[in-house]
Structure 1
Amino acid sequence: MTDRPGKAAIVEKPRTERAAEALAAEGVYDPGRRIEAYDADRVALPVTRPPIETDVEAVVDLDLPARERGLADVLRSRGVPADVVEAAPSSWAVIGDVVLVDFGDVSAARTLDRGSRETIGEALLEVHGDADTVLARGGISGTRRDPAGAVVAGSGDTETVHTEHGIEYALDLSETMFSPGNKAERARMGDVVSAGERVFDMFAGIGYFSLPMARAEASVTAAEIDPTAHRRLVENARRNGVAARVEAVLGDCRSVETAADRVLMGYYDAHEYLDSALEAVVSGGVVHLHEATPEALFPGRPIGRLRDAAAATGRTVDVLGARRVKSHSAGTVHGVVDARIE
């Protein structure tokens, strides 16, 4: 393996994940080189040019080692036909020791029969030596957000523990959804909340947002309607030492009576529950409204829905910000609007 000449952005170690995500979003991150320690407290992130939007300590000339062989390299070394190599997914997520991959968005999907998917899955296990199962991502359905998927390679064990920003999420990917694209938003929720705040997480799942907020010493009422996800929520609160700050409620969030300084609505159709959110949030409190929105209608549509719902109860809305969390599908974004309610 040879080093590649280039530049590196220097950041403090605790910021590694978020800085890398920001550099990638800015289009300056170099995925062909590895992240390396720069000194005892800082890391060097490979970049193609100095960033403009991302805050870094410095940009230096540094030869960082090239990344190890990628999926296409492994497939070619195994003599896989060129059309299958070309059709292989270009991105995937490693959740604990499970590789979660979407085979549905590739241009040459006709080549990816069951055997081809298994071949790609076995190659992914070689690329990610610590993983033991490859799971093909399916859709999410119903109000309980049940995932569909199929094991394509490995042991078939979909139960795992995923660590992110120092938080451990225990889950079974065959029965519980986990969105890698929400990673930065999960971290942000831990940053925006203050110690002692009362939070109402209306769609808590296994603790995606509740855990970072509880770790920041907020008091979280976390509602989850699915018994399986609720069981994991309770387990994860204990696992992360925040059980005393998480009240895990099994049931429909609309039946929960609480007063909150901050209401988190992490569900694509959360606008249908705005009446309950506005009933829970105190004057001066903040609502985080998530929505899957056609790109041309963001953030206008969710803001309009929030204003209309607030007006119906005689309250006002001060929009604090709106951000795109990730791409949901072609032409549709997963976005969130932050608003103060008076």
Structure 2
Amino acid sequence: MPGNDELALAAVVRKPDTETTIAALEDEGVYDATRKVRERDDELVELPVTDPPSETAVLDVVEQVAPERRLPDLESHLREMGWTDEEIARAPSSWAVVGSVVLVTFGDEDDGGADGPTGEGEAGEIDREELGEALLDLHGEADTVLAHEGVSGDHREPSVSVVAGAGDTETVHTEHGTRYALDLAEVMFSPGNKAERARMGEAVEPGERVFDMFAGVGYFTLPMARAGADVTAVERNPAAFRFLIENAMLNDVSERVSAFRADCRDVEVDPEADRVVMGYYDAHEYLDSALAALKPGGVVHMHEATPEELLWDRPVSRLRDAAADAGREVEILDRRKVKSHSEGVWHVVVDANVV
């Protein structure tokens, strides 16, 4: 990268567009991750680039004097702040950037749902505020660091506290072109499920009828609807439901999403669905309703938190038993680990054709 006395290029964008634009610049191959994102004023930021972007829309391309280098990892930032080896060893080993928010877990809190944080990392008695500042330095596109402190209640509501930065819990997160507006103080979002969300967008065909039983803010609904599926999306958490509606509009798929704030067992799907998505760790408790909504030859995607020693017998047997009770048969199409849920327990998904 250029030295501190050399000129370097930066793309000027509006702050709310930072994450989306960085992703686009990375795809174009011109984002310079060795330099820091620089705040230009209250509304604009400068994103470091190696060349003027030709495919990504930006407001302007400027030359920077004395660009600031970005340290490569959290450990480097903490060492520069004077942390000892022992303190660094107690720092969280993982965190997630969700839009403009860095979400970090201190300790071993579990997520309690198929779209909550992973619960990895342990910090002990360390200076959380300093750690938060280091994370903000590391992730220049972020402006807030939140501590994830668990999930509770029937609506799987998260508990968070501000560690550093502006304290904004509302953000817009972008993945594979899908935009998720959410408030991390009100609803869950698991970056660890990124590949599964993308997979669901690739699994559907245009015109498919999908029943998403635990839609949340649109985790799986949005990529499927963007791929052309017609989705009946059910969510009983009022905060998550509000964002589900907003996100359908944000992604221009409102015409393909029929949203209901209800218990999914109380929603009748007519005609029957080609595909049912069950993105909830206790989804097996709802298999009777899922199968009732699924047409013969349709596909069900059942999520579960399964202890290592019960893979894959428990989730598969639950599916087969529920199908037998309904007078139907199951063909297992795929089974996969999504992420670690807690020590010795995996978040898994079983895909099955039900005739």
TM superposition score category, shorter chain reference: 0.7 to 0.9
**Equivalent pairs, count:** 286
Tell me how far apart the structure 2 counterparts of residues 139 and 109 of structure 1 sit (CA, whole Å): 15
Tell me how far apart the structure 1 counterparts of residues 70 and 317 of structure 2 sit (CA, whole Å): 46
Please say if 1:154 is aligned against 2:154. Answer: no
TM-score by length of 1: 0.79
Please say if 1:272 is aligned against 2:285. Answer: yes
Per the alignment, residue 124 of structure 2 pairs with 110
Amino acid in the other structure paired with 1:282: K
Per the alignment, residue 327 of structure 2 pairs with 314
Any conservation in 1 of the 2:105–2:122 contact (CA below 8 Å)? no
Residue of structure 2 aligned with 1:297, choices 310, 313, 329: 310
Tell me how far apart the structure 2 counterparts of residues 294 and 143 of structure 1 sit (CA, whole Å): 23
Measure how far apart 1:187 and its partner are.
0.1
Residue of structure 1 aligned with 2:91, choices 88, 94, 108: 88
Unaligned runs of 5+ in 2: 3-22, 28-32, 35-48, 55-68, 109-119
Task: Please list the CA deviations of residues 241-273 of structure 1 after superposition, one character each: whole Å capped at 9, or x if unmatched.
Answer: 000000010010000000211000000000000
121-130 or 280-289, which deviates more = 121-130
Tell me how far apart the structure 2 counterparts of residues 288 and 274 of structure 1 sit (CA, whole Å): 11
Tell me how far apart the structure 1 counterparts of residues 178 and 122 of structure 2 sit (CA, whole Å): 37
Tell me how far apart the structure 1 counterparts of residues 121 and 142 of structure 2 sit (CA, whole Å): 26
Identity score, percent: 61
SS of residue matched to 1:287 = strand
Measure how far apart 1:111 and its partner are.
2.3
Q: Which residues of 2 match residues 1-342 of structure 1 at below 5 A?
A: 68-105=71-108, 109-112=123-126, 116-258=127-269, 259-342=272-355
Measure how far apart 1:75 and its partner are.
1.2
Amino acid in the other structure paired with 2:72: R
Measure how far apart 1:108 and its partner are.
6.6
Any conservation in 1 of the 2:106–2:121 contact (CA below 8 Å)? no
Unaligned runs of 5+ in 1: 3-12, 18-30, 42-65
Tell me how far apart the structure 2 counterparts of residues 207 and 216 of structure 1 sit (CA, whole Å): 14
Tell me how far apart the structure 1 counterparts of residues 330 and 149 of structure 2 sit (CA, whole Å): 37
225-234 or 78-87, which deviates more = 78-87
Task: Please list the CA deviations of residues 193-224 of structure 1 after superposition, one character each: whole Å capped at 9, or x if unmatched.
Answer: 11111000000000000000000100000000
Task: Please list the CA deviations of residues 257-296 of structure 1 after superposition, one character each: whole Å capped at 9, or x if unmatched.
Answer: 0021100000000000001001000000000000000012
Per the alignment, residue 11 of structure 2 pairs with none
SS of residue matched to 1:306 = helix
295-304 or 272-281, which deviates more = 295-304
| Closer/same/farther in 2, CA of residues 192 and 77 from structure 1, 3 Å limit | same
SS of residue matched to 2:94 = coil
Tell me how far apart the structure 2 counterparts of residues 154 and 244 of structure 1 sit (CA, whole Å): 38
Measure how far apart 1:141 and its partner are.
2.1
Any conservation in 2 of the 1:71–1:124 contact (CA below 8 Å)? yes
SS of residue matched to 1:176 = coil
SS of residue matched to 1:282 = strand
Per the alignment, residue 39 of structure 2 pairs with none
Q: Point out which structure has higher relative CO (alpha carbons under 8 A, 6+ apart).
A: 2
Amino acid in the other structure paired with 1:99: V
Amino acid in the other structure paired with 1:75: L
Measure how far apart 1:319 and its partner are.
0.6
Task: Please list the CA deviations of residues 2-59 of structure 1 after superposition, one character each: whole Å capped at 9, or x if unmatched.
Answer: 9xxxxxxxxxx99x99xxxxxxxxxxxxx99xxx99xx99xxxxxxxxxxxxxxxxxx
Measure how far apart 1:138 and its partner are.
1.9
Any conservation in 1 of the 2:181–2:247 contact (CA below 8 Å)? yes
Tell me how far apart the structure 2 counterparts of residues 314 and 164 of structure 1 sit (CA, whole Å): 39
Any conservation in 2 of the 1:299–1:335 contact (CA below 8 Å)? no
Tell me how far apart the structure 2 counterparts of residues 250 and 107 of structure 1 sit (CA, whole Å): 34
